[in-house]
Structure 1
Amino acid sequence: MKSYRIGSAQINCTVGDLKGNCAKMMEYAEKAKASGVDIVVFPELAVTGCPPEDLLLKPKFIDDNLAALHDLSRSIKGIVAVIGFVNQEHGDLYNAACVVCDGAIKGIYHKTLLPNYGVFDEKRYFRSGNEPMVFKFGELIFGVSICEDIWFSEGPTAAQALAGATLILNINASPYHTGKIKIREEIVSSRATAHGITVSYTNLVGGQDELVFDGQSMIVDNAGRVIGRALAFKEDLLVVDIPQEMLVKRQTGGAMKDVPSGTRFITVAESILQPVKSPVIRREVGILEPVAEVYEALLLGLRDYVGKNGFGTVAIGLSGGIDSAIVAAIAVDALGKDRVTGVLMSSRYTTRESEEDAKELAKRLGITLLEVPIDTIYSTYLSTLESFFKGLSEDITEENIQARIRGNILMALSNKFGLLVLTTGNKSEMSVGYATLYGDMAGGFAVIKDVPKTLVYRLAAYRNLSGLVIPERTIAKEPTAELRPDQKDSDTLPPYNTLDPILKAYVEEDRHPDEIVSSSLGREVVERVSSMVDRSEYKRRQSPPGIKITPKAFGKDRRMPITNRYRG
């Protein structure tokens, strides 16, 4: 049976590494050609990396991106390639995709629908394209679209299908959050079935600051079924054969009077370039279960942040608690044990059990553990401030001094030995401000900044399934900061299984406190938590970047004013 062989090259691009990104595309184009691929598809903005943000305001960056694209295009021969880049016409910028064949750019498509919500700011930089176009390749007519273009029924997919396209090559830089793969599949499947078309969905993979791109590219047939799926969180070349009759049988069936006016028909090649192919062995790639998916996202986000920014080793303050334990485990799994250093900074309030658990964790992970007691330094602080604090009872001030001593020690080690300090605060704590500025918030990257506390426990249990590294006592004991005698998190916060549902509703779903109150969530606790969230915005603004894994993370997703008297 004759077929068209489509390759989705989900590659890990680095923002600003124009030559490196193009070299990787050339590598994958050659790999695809060796596999008999007719059309290889690369992700959105693959030349520049994504998101390039205000690099797009630099004219030389735009020129260099175009020069890199043209160099790459001249080198691609014997295969058709779809490449994401930034185009410029008459002084305007466009999020663009070009179709390349035999060393020449045959046509350029401009993204039509520009997202401007959540982490997206495309209207800040780009103009919308409005020219319908389809491409002819042998007997095949296909359309090209970019990310958001396929998410809405009013996008260009319908127009391309009316013009005879039976295959849509949709390129993406769609960042990860939990459950998003199912949303994508529903969208792509609905477009495929609505128009009787096959859709190739190619997504970027890799970490970029707070964002993680999960790959999970797919090809969906005209009945809405996934007929090929790429790996999650890894570079991959997905190769799928699509029967020729599936792609060409509709082309004479459409009413040409319905073709949108101004539609451009661009010939890529008169015949397919590689007519003889040996069959492709279909791979079975499943979807990860939710906790495993989050764990892989955190691994990739940390690995790429460290690697792409040129850091060598990382340091983590180990307390014997679950947050620092899961961060250490993720760091070892992402980077290797030789690149992770734990620092145990015991005080007069640190229990023997916590010290034992921190040491046991370090031993099981095989990492170096530095022990730096802080009690002498703490006593010096108290002595220095004694005359100023005379007559005043101890309060949170003395607790924060301990946290800041620890932060100072970690940053001193960072300066002296070039260690990237990983903070260990979770989303529940960051939401309500249960963290100390310049103390436990001090560091360069916040691995679990967007991970609710209840999910931290699930991640710890999941990690222990592949080898017991986090001590069972660490998971079982009640959370505590150990900054005063017999302290527990529950002294200050509601239990986490109460707190996290309130935070999800208030922070991620933007629900009013009145809407959150229920039989299980009383008004007093809901109003107290929402007030703590509002008052803590100034702290979050001063926290290091961290990996987004929920639908709405602090920072780019949720942008609230610090000075704000609105309380609903």
Structure 2
Amino acid sequence: MIKYGFVRVGAAVPEVKVADTEFNTRKIIEIMDKAIENDVYLTVFPELCITGYTCGDLFQQPLLLDMALKSLKKIADKSSGCKNVFIVGLPLMINQQLYNCAAVVQNGKVRGIVPKQYLPNYNEFYEKRWFSEGRNLSDDYVNIFGHDVPCGNNLIFQDELTGELSFGVEICEDLWMPVPPSSFQAKNGAVILCNLSASNEVIGKNEYRRMLVKSQSGRCIAAYVYTSSGVGESTTDLVFGGQALIAENGTILIESRRFARESQLIMQDVDVKRLYYERANISSFSEPDPTVAGRRVVLEPVSFELKELLRKIDKHPFIPADSAECNERCSEIFSIQTAGLAKRLTHTGLKKMVVGISGGLDSTLALLVACQTADMLNLPRKNIIAVTMPGFGTTGRTYENAVNLMKSMDVDLREIDIKAACLQHFHDIGHDPDVYDVTYENVQARERTQILMDIANREGGLVVGTGDLSELALGWSTYNGDHMSMYAVNCGVPKTLVKYLVTWYSENIATGKTVSILKSIADTPISPELMPPNENGEIEQKTEDIIGPYELHDFFLYYMIRHRADPGKILYLARIAFKDQYDEKTIKKWLKVFYRRFFSQQFKRSCIPDGPKVGTVSLSPRGDWRMPSDASAALWLSELEDE
């Protein structure tokens, strides 16, 4: 078994001497030792690595072929006593025909042989001079070292006990085809796809290889391990750079240094459990392709518990670490929000928008979206009715930020103090205004929503909702209060990303005084401001003191929904991501809060207003997330107790 679904894979680029099988075997075995030492379950070597790819007509020499087979025996013997898997390339005679093959080796045995299906025979390549195409091979088995070994391009290698630990193999040109063999292997259950390659270097080819590997891993919802021959190959006409790549579901995790003269082994931990269950959620992926049935090769079970993960676990998975990518992401999200709101306005025929402005991040983002939408539709900014509604908890800073923002955006600014109306309501329902309980808070939230709705009716406008994805997950909203609107532009944006969007707007779109106002808003503590300020007039009710840090909750949400991770795995990953910030006790405390709130607050999500999905995580009851409102969190909380 493998803990939490992570398995370490490696892509090797050994030093090579053309046609020197003894030298090449020594270098392969050196890398095998390193892989075993580092708990690498699966190590992929380049195409024809035992002989070298550039042997030319030497492939027609029986001596070279015999020595290659003897080298395979040495490699198999070296693997005795360990469950690590190694995939090496060699020329192999099968029924009087020579094939370019990959041999899968584990614990002293050759477990399978995969011949190259498509042979390049154009430009600098002329493999058909020596090899036969694997797709024409009819034999299901080949005798190697006295044993019948499964042979073919439809083999799926499967760990005996771990269903998600399975892989398929293709060779170089196979990946460049319109429908690579790995596509069928993935459809038939291979979660890790391996490619043994010998791809020479010409200008721009390395980027094209990266694109192919990245794309195929994403299309197949798989990990893809690619490695290619290094600089030791013949340079008579070509140069080989030794490019190696490990990708997972459309993302390159690690790559080698090209043109290195020494052997290389790149390693990375891939999340096969995530990939396995990601596929289960995609109905179009679920059925094997009947045209190419997979053949199972059962491998000896492995049990690796990685002491430390090699892969980086980002604290903020909703936010790209690269600044250029983050800017691009913010621009795209903002465009999705504005396009959604514009469509709703044109569909309804309404010309006005109503937004409640608190001086906080969420309402600020909603106002920015509304202004951009008005500009897009050639509507005057005064058609945006921005209402600030001071209450018992409103502080001077947020009030000033709200008013200054509305002025700087040139919208229809309105101020309605809700304190008198709330006091009257307390009197009507018999509530003591000195009791600061949930009634005290929710009366204010519902009063504000009522005002916005009624203004929208009176003016012929549409109430733009401000609540974000994180608040939906935690139920941090008042039912039929800020929970409700006519179109919720922020419903797909998590709290950690809201701040980045506001900052991005201030740096890329805003001008004049708006820039400094937005920066002040971004630096203000998150609060619903429903409780009175402290004696210094500062925010007393800080949301993150009550329900926990949003960066933790967004992390939990991402891995629960996007990766379908169990509580134990989320805790494990959070410990790694936040090791310098929160101790395990703190993380576990807030993770329990997350689960309790997520399950108990589904009733609010079951009736939320329309709003645009902007990322891979959405909690819309009409789209991505359908959950009964009375589901129990007991299983999830119980697992945390066992951790």
What is the TM-score of this pair, normalised by structure 2? 0.44
Larger radius of gyration: 2
Give the alignment's TM-score, normalised by structure 1: 0.49
